[in-house]
C-alpha cells in the first residue's frame, strides 16, 4: 500500500534492507538520480520560455551559455553521479563511449555502472509534449578499484539491479524498481519532494491500447501488419484503441497504468529497429516484467539478449502479458 505522505527519500531508507546487496550504495545512487531529476524537471518546464529568455546556443541573462535540453540533461545526470562519487562508470545515449570514473578518481571503490537516456523523446520538447529520462543500473563485473571495461556495460538486462524512468508530464513522476516490484513517486513542485503515489504498479490483466508509429505501416514485418488488423477487428473485446505519443517513457507509462502494448518494429528505414537496447529497452523491460508484463524483440525475451555494442538497436514490443502473447501467436504463424 502506498503511503502518500512518504517521500521518495523516506521510501528508499525504509526499503533499503529488502535489496540483497544492501550497503547503502544503491540508495545513494537512486537519491542522486532523484536530485538530478528535479533540476532537469525545472529546466524542462521552462522550455516554452526559450524564445523569451534567449534561443538555444545564445547566452542567457545569467551570462551562461544555453544548451539544448538533451545536452543539459546529460550534463546534469553525469555531473551529479560522477562528482558525488556514487558510481564507477557511466554510459549515455549522448556520448559515443562510456566513462570510467576511475580515470577521474583513482580511489574510486564504487560497484555500480549506470546507463542512461537523459532526455528521451526530446523531439517532443518543442511542442510541449511529455518527455522522460530512462536509467539502468548494473553491478560491475570487473574488479572494484580498477577502470571499468565495456563488458561492465554489455551485460544482459536480466543482470540489472535497478532501473527506472522519470516522466516530465502533466506532473513529474519517478518510477523505479530494484527487482522487488515497481513504485511510482509524484513530484510536489511546491515543496520539491517526490511522494509515494503509486505502490506496487502492475499492468492490468486485460489491456486494450496499442501504441505504434503506424505511418511506417508498409515497412513493418508481415506479422506486425496482421497483428494490427487483429487489434482493429470488431470481435470479442476489440477493436483496441490506438494511442501513440512518440515518447517511449510516456507511451509505456500510459500503457502500464491503463493496460496496453507498445511496438517499435524493425522497418526498412531502421532494419535493426530504432530503440536502443541498453538504455531504453532493457530498463523499460525490467520495469515491465516487474509489473507483470512482457518484453520481446520478436524472437527472444529482451532481458535475455546478450548485448554486442553500447548503442545497439533492436525491435521492441512490450506491455500487458496477454497482448504480447497474442502478438507472439502471429510471430509463430509467420515462421
Binding residues vs Mg ion (CB under 5 A): 117, 120
Kind and range of the H or E run holding 108: none
Out of Mg ion, ligand AHM, none, what residue 247 binds, judged by CB under 5 to 8 A for its kind, is ligand AHM
Nearest to 27 by CA among 38, 6, 10, 13: 13
Q: Which one of 145, 189, 239, 246 is in contact with ligand AHM (CB under 6 A)?
A: 246
Q: How far is the CB of 243 from ligand AHM (least distance, A)?
A: 12
Q: Which stretch binds ligand AHM (CB under 6 A): 49-57, 169-177, 245-253, 290-298?
A: 245-253
Nearer to Mg ion, 120 or 251 (CB): 120
Instruction: Spell out the residues 6+ positions from residue 165 whose beta carbon is closer than 8 angstroms to its own.
Output: 120, 132, 133, 134, 135, 174, 175, 176, 249, 252, 253, 283, 284, 287
With respect to ligand AHM, which residue has the nearer C-beta, 11 or 264?
264
Residue 220 Cβ, how far from Mg ion at the closest point, in Å?
Answer: 21
Among 175, 248, 296, 331, binds ligand AHM (CB under 6 A): 248
120 vs 297, beta carbon nearer Mg ion: 120
Distance CA 133, CA 274 (A): 17
For residues 261 and 138, is the Cβ–Cβ distance under 8 A? no
Q: Which three cell numbers stand for residue 144?
A: 572494484
Please pick, from the candidates 101, 116, 120, 263, the single residue that binds ligand AHM as defined by CB under 6 A: 120
Site for ligand AHM in 16-55 (CB under 6 A): none
CB 255 within 8 A of CB 320: yes
Q: Pick between residue 305 and residue 323 the one whose CB is nearest to Mg ion.
A: 305
| 152 touches ligand AHM by CB under 6 A | no
Task: Decide: 86 and 29 in contact? Cβ < 8 Å.
Answer: yes
Q: Is residue 276 within 8 Å of 313, Cβ to Cβ? A: yes
CB-nearest residue to Mg ion: 120
38 binds, options Mg ion, ligand AHM, none, Cβ within 5 to 8 A by partner type: none
Asked if residue 79 lies in contact with residue 56, where contact means CB atoms within 8 angstroms, the answer is: no
Binding partner at 319 among Mg ion, ligand AHM, none, C-beta below 5 to 8 Å by kind: none
What cell numbers appear for 283 in the block? Answer: 530498463
Of 130, 247, 282, 320, the one binding ligand AHM (CB under 6 A) is 247
297 binds ligand AHM (CB under 6 A): no
Q: CB of residue 180 vs ligand AHM: minimum separation in angstroms?
A: 27
* Alpha helical stretches, state H, the chain: 8-15, 25-45, 50-53, 69-83, 150-153, 222-232, 248-258, 282-290, 321-333
Taking the least distance from each CB to Mg ion, the nearer of 173 and 248 is: 248
Contact 87, 101 (CB under 8 A): yes
Please state, in angstroms and as integers, the Cα–Cα distance from residue 299 to each residue in 223, 295, 302, following that order.
12, 10, 9
Closer residue to Mg ion, CB minimum distance, 101 or 245? 245
Least distance (Å) from Mg ion to the CB of residue 76? 16
Binding range to ligand AHM, per CB under 6 A, among 116-124, 150-158, 160-168, 232-240: 116-124
Binding pattern for the stretch 61-100 against ligand AHM, x by CB under 6 A and - elsewhere: --------------------------------x-------
Backbone region of residue 62 per phi and psi (left: phi > 0; alpha: psi in -120 to 50; beta: other values) = alpha
The beta-strand segments (E) located in the chain are 89-92, 99-100, 112-120, 131-139, 162-168, 172-177, 182-188, 193-198, 209-211, 241-242, 260-264, 294-296, 316-319
| Binding of residue 122 to ligand AHM (CB under 6 A) | yes
- The footprint of ligand AHM (CB under 6 A) covers 93, 117, 120-122, 213, 246-248, 264, 274
Amino acid at each position: 500500500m502506498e503511503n502518500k505522505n512518504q517521500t521518495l527519500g523516506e521510501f528508499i531508507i525504509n526499503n533499503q534492507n529488502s535489496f540483497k546487496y544492501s550497503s547503502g550504495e544503491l540508495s545513494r545512487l537512486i537519491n542522486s538520480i532523484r536530485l538530478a531529476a528535479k533540476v532537469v524537471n525545472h529546466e524542462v518546464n521552462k522550455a516554452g520560455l526559450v524564445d523569451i529568455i534567449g534561443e538555444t546556443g545564445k547566452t542567457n541573462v545569467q551570462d551562461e551559455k544555453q544548451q539544448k535540453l538533451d545536452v543539459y540533461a546529460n550534463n546534469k545526470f553525469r555531473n551529479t553521479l560522477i562528482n558525488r562519487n556514487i558510481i564507477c562508470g557511466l554510459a549515455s545515449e549522448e556520448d559515443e563511449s562510456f566513462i570510467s570514473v576511475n580515470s577521474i578518481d583513482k580511489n574510486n571503490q564504487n560497484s555500480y555502472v549506470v546507463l542512461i537516456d537523459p532526455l528521451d523523446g526530446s523531439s517532443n520538447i518543442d511542442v510541449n509534449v511529455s518527455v522522460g529520462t530512462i536509467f539502468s543500473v548494473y553491478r560491475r563485473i570487473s574488479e572494484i578499484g580498477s577502470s571499468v571495461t565495456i563488458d561492465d556495460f554489455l551485460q544482459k538486462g536480466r543482470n540489472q539491479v535497478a532501473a527506472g524512468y522519470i516522466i516530465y508530464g502533466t506532473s513529474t513522476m519517478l518510477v523505479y524498481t530494484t527487482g522487488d516490484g515497481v513504485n511510482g513517486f509524484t513530484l510536489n513542485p511546491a515543496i520539491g519532494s517526490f511522494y509515494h503515489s503509486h505502490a506496487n504498479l502492475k499492468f492490468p490483466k486485460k489491456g486494450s491500447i496499442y501504441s505504434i508509429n503506424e505511418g511506417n505501416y508498409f515497412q513493418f514485418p508481415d506479422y506486425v501488419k496482421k497483428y494490427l488488423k487483429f487489434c482493429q477487428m470488431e470481435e470479442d473485446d476489440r477493436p483496441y484503441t490506438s494511442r501513440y505519443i512518440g515518447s517511449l517513457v510516456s507511451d509505456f507509462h500510459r500503457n502500464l497504468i491503463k493496460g496496453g502494448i507498445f511496438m517499435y518494429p524493425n522497418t526498412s528505414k531502421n532494419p535493426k529497429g530504432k530503440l536502443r537496447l541498453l538504455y531504453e529497452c532493457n530498463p523499460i523491460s525490467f520495469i515491465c516484467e516487474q509489473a507483470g508484463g512482457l518484453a520481446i524483440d520478436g524472437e527472444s525475451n529482451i532481458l535475455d539478449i546478450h548485448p554486442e555494442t553500447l548503442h545497439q538497436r533492436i525491435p521492441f514490443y512490450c506491455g500487458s502479458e496477454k497482448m504480447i502473447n497474442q502478438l507472439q501467436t502471429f510471430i509463430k504463424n509467420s515462421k
